[in-house]
Amino acid sequence: MSSGGAEDDIPQAERKTVTDFCYLLDKSKQLFNGLRDLPQYGQKQWQSYFGRTFDVYTKLWKFQQQHRQVLDNRYGLKRWQIGEIASKIGQLYYHYYLRTSETSYLNEAFSFYSAIRQRSYYSQVNKEDRPELVVKKLRYYARFIVVCLLLNKMDVVKDLVKELSDEIEDYTHRFNTEDQVEWNLVLQEVAAFIEADPVMVLNDDNTIVITSNRLSETGAPLLEQGMIVGQLALADALIIGNCNNQVKFSELTIDMFRMLQALEREPMNLASQMNKPGMQESTEKPARRENPHKYLLYKPTFSQLYTFLAASFKELPANSVLLIYLSATGVFPSGRSDSEGPYDFGGVLTNSNRDIINGDAIHKRNQSYKEMHCLHPGDLYPFTRKPLFIIVDSSNSVAYKNFTNLFGQPLVCLLSPTAYPKALQDQSQRGSLFTLFLNNPLMAFLFVSGLSSMRRGLWEKCQDYLRKINRDIAQLLTHSRSIDQSFLQFFGDEFLRLLLTRFIFCSATMRMHKIFRQETRNYPESYPQLPRDETVENPHLQKHILELASILDVRNVFLENTLDDY
């Protein structure tokens, strides 16, 4: 009797294990699906919900590890189901990165996605006659590729793309589904994205340079004694992309991709643990300053953009800066008006959708209407009540020269060239040269110099010299007697300091480069204007650029005495 009772007890314990697993699985799916209903803007409403979701997935992951044998025997747990749980955890970490801009969570997402691949959790999916399971596998690959791109793990990306290509070929061969074209388009997009960045090959061993363009310990020039700058800190950034035909992957254009990395620190290598992010005690201070919080907006409508702007503006802490980065097609004024105000110079188009009035699309030739999704300088006036830093990369960036600082708060607009020399125009699909300078100034300098290979020692020498140039630009800017105070107010923040020094380096390089000298449209500009003789046309800086060109043996593409041309 006693032995029989013991035998009866075992199935009961196993049944409870299965019941508990099913409960955790259902609860995790319910919470995960609820994430998409959370507002994308605002930083407070979603924190506790994410914490609960992580909590359930922590329990679920540990539970399946502890009871694997029972779940295999009694529940029929398949390896692809374990893979799906791990994939969801990877997604959670990735979305937490998007919400917080903390790059260490990218490493956490990578560790889970990588484990799925190493342990072949999805290997048996192709043997089952269920196309929806194969789609789960394909989506996992696409998400893994995005995380690897953001972490600059290009070798892994290339392996994943090859594997994804094979999986798509097998999928389309076995199942006659309607999404074949879409998956082939995904492959084309990621291939174009990888090809978009200019490549530098080191001749020593024929390796390709993989650079991280996030802020490192030696990234921004240090503030030296005597530099008088403001104490503002960059807290929020809106990164907006809507450029015609520009390569993109997963609603991230190449320009957006470059700018988001320019606004992040190098990720910390945390040991992968299923702790709940964001749930630490408030007394725990981070070891270093956080990244500015970012919103990535691909082709937002005007109402969406204004909603995100208002949310950022509302939650901006005291003594903080809001950055707006616009990479978008220009919208030009349809005609001259009698009084030229902030809505008469055009702007940038954030979304290509046409609104319909009385059944007819509004065309540019109809001058009685303005483009609804055009962001005009005047649209940003309400937000100049707080410190505002604007970067406009567009064929109509100069519309933002016509800004007025109504509230006396620090305000700077960095504006791209509105056109590029003909020799470079066919590169626009691969991203803007202006944004490349803000993201990776050395690679941009090499690109305009026509270089794609060099010795490793030369590459390192150029990096060191560029750091020296950045330090000297910082001194030029802070020692200028006629510079607008807004520039100095922003110069105390590491990210903004780096963007400003790179902007001045970009402007000086283009003003000295022979093919850019054909038209002034080829030059970046700013609001307020920088004192040219003390910054972008300073002889000391010009000497540095010529020296960098000499190191690279490309001095012939630059003008020796640029000041004589004025």
pLDDT tens, 148-205? 999 999 999 999 999 999 999 999 888 877 888 899 999 999 999 999 988 888 887 7
Concatenate the DSSP letters of all residues of 9-27 into one string.
HHHHHHHHHHHHHHHHHHH
Please state whether the predicted TM-score (pTM) of the whole model is above 0.85: yes
Average pLDDT of the segment spanning 361-366: 40
Higher pLDDT, 212 or 358: 212
What whole-number distance in Å separates Cα of residue 99 and Cα of residue 92?
A: 10
Q: Identify the band that residue 448 occupies on the pLDDT scale cut at 50, 70 and 90.
A: very high
| 281: pLDDT strictly greater than 50 | no
pLDDT at 111: 95
Contact 110, 72 (CB under 8 A): no
List 322's β-bridge partners, or say none: 236, 388
| 144: pLDDT strictly greater than 80 | yes
| 555: pLDDT strictly greater than 90 | yes
| 329: pLDDT strictly greater than 70 | yes
Higher pLDDT, 199 or 461: 461
Concatenate the DSSP letters of all residues of 498-532 into one string.
HHHHHHHHHHHHHHHBGGGGG-GGGS-EEESPP-G
Q: How far is the CA of 68 from the CAs of 64, 78, 137, 434, in angstroms? A: 5, 10, 22, 54
Question: How large a percentage of the chain has pLDDT more than 70?
Answer: 88
Task: Could you please state the CATH topology (level 3) that the domain comprising 12-199 is classified under.
Answer: 1.25.40
| 118: pLDDT strictly greater than 60 | yes
Q: Identify the band that residue 268 occupies on the pLDDT scale cut at 50, 70 and 90.
A: low
pLDDT at 303: 94
What whole-number distance in Å separates Cα of residue 124 and Cα of residue 257?
A: 34
pLDDT at 337: 60
pLDDT, one tens digit per residue, over 380-389 is 999 999 999 9
Cis upstream peptide for 528 (omega within 30°):
yes
Q: Identify the band that residue 41 occupies on the pLDDT scale cut at 50, 70 and 90.
A: confident
- Placement of tokens 């620090």 in the chain: 410
Contact 545, 483 (CB under 8 A): no
Contact 51, 276 (CB under 8 A): yes
In a 10 Å sphere around its CB, with 0-12 CB exposed, 13-18 middle and 19+ buried, how is residue 493 labelled?
A: buried
What value, to the nearest 5°, has the Cα angle with vertex 199 and ends 428 and 554?
90
| 564: pLDDT strictly greater than 70 | no
pLDDT at 121: 94
| 413: pLDDT strictly greater than 70 | yes
- Placement of tokens 């970009």 in the chain: 506
Cβ contacts of residue 205 below 8 Å, gap of 6+? 456
Average pLDDT of the segment spanning 285-290: 50
DSSP E strands: which ranges in 423-466? 453-454
pLDDT at 561: 63
Nearest to 148 by CA among 124, 184, 114: 114
Nearest to 87 by CA among 43, 147, 42: 147
Q: Identify the band that residue 359 occupies on the pLDDT scale cut at 50, 70 and 90.
A: very low
pLDDT at 10: 53
329 torsion bin: left (phi>0), alpha (psi -120 to 50), beta (else): beta
- Placement of tokens 């801009």 in the chain: 101
Q: Where are the domains of the chain?
A: 12-199, 233-268+290-334+341-353+371-557
Name the CATH code of domain 233-268+290-334+341-353+371-557 (choices 3.40.50, 2.60.40, 2.40.160, 2.30.30).
3.40.50
Nearest to 82 by CA among 26, 120, 44: 120
